[in-house]
Amino acid sequence: MPLDDAADRLLDVMAERHDETQSSRGLLDARREWSATRVVVRQAALRRIAQSPRLRSRTMTPQVASAMAVMILHNMKTMAILVGFRTTRASRGAITELLQMNRLYITSRFS
């Protein structure tokens, strides 16, 4: 799969499953009283996301893959929010910009 397509698919995961991910996003952004559950969900999401870059590059260190996972998770959450508001011209433009930004970031990490 081309790298740009892989980058887009990572962001689409949360956007496509809006109902399912609303709960996940809620846990990821939960307040301190939910901290134990939040930590478990966040760590599981980051581990899962970090697998993708490591599969692409066997030489990538776990530290780099983990750092990338944090950025990708942040972008995934942002994409899900933007998709919820895509009825406005500004939101549609922002989705395009976020996709391009994510492609550039991921491509640069493998160059």
Distance from C-alpha of 94 to C-alpha of 86, rounded to nearest angstrom: 9
Ranges of residues in the chain whose predicted pLDDT is under 50? 18
Domain of residue 103 covers: 3-109
Listed in sequence order, the residues at least 6 apart from 103 whose beta carbon sits closer than 8 Å to its beta carbon are 3, 4, 7, 8
- 51-61 core/surface letters (b: 16 or more CB in 10 A; e: else): ebbbeeeeebe
What pLDDT shows up at residue 91? 76
pTM: 0.75
What pLDDT shows up at residue 16? 61
What pLDDT shows up at residue 83? 79
Q: How many domains does the chain have?
A: 1
What pLDDT shows up at residue 28? 58
What pLDDT shows up at residue 76? 85
What pLDDT shows up at residue 39? 77
Distance from C-alpha of 28 to C-alpha of 39, rounded to nearest angstrom: 8
What pLDDT shows up at residue 4? 83
